[in-house]
Amino acid sequence: MSTVLRAAVGDQPLSVAEHEQLVGGPQAGAVVTFAGVVREHDHGRAVTLLEYVGHPSAAAVIAEVAAEVAAEAGVIALAVSHRVGTLAVGDVALACAVSSAHRGEAFTACARLVEEVKHRLPIWKRQVFADGTDEWVNCP
C-alpha cells in the first residue's frame, strides 16, 4: 500500500530534504527527489523574481494528482508541495519525493508526479524581468 505523506500548496519556503525524509524508511530501496527552482533567465531574458498565484482548488488538485501517482505499481510513499507567492531566484517552487523498493519505479513515478502537477495544477506564474517588464505564463 502506498501513502501520500504530503500534498500541499502554500506560501512557506520548501525543503526537498524534508520531503525526502518524509518518504524514506526501511522498505524504501530508492528515494527520488525533484526540486523545481526559480532560475535567473527565461528565453534569453534575465528574471529577477517569480510570483505564483493559485486557484482556490489548487490544494484539492495536488492531492488528487498525488493520490493517482501514489497508486501506481511500486510506489511506497510520496510527498509533493508547490509554493505560491513571491519567490526569488534560487527558491524552490516545487518539491517532490517518491520512494519505492527499486529505482526504476521511483524515477518513473517522480517524473510522472512532476509532469502531472505542472500540467494540471491551477497555479499561474508571473515572471518579472530585469528590465522591469513582466509576463504571465500558463494562464487560462
pLDDT digits (tens, 9 = 90+) for 97-139: 999 999 999 999 999 999 999 999 999 999 999 999 999 987 6
pLDDT at 1: 60
- Total domains in the chain come to 1
Return the CATH number at 73.
3.90.1170.40
| Residue 9 burial class via C-beta count within 10 angstroms: exposed 0-12, middle 13-18, buried 19 and up | buried
Range of the domain at 99: 3-137
At residue 2 the predicted structure's pLDDT band, cuts being 50, 70 and 90, is: confident
pLDDT digits (tens, 9 = 90+) for 22-78: 999 999 999 999 999 999 999 999 999 999 999 999 999 999 999 999 999 899 999
CA distance 26 to 31: 11
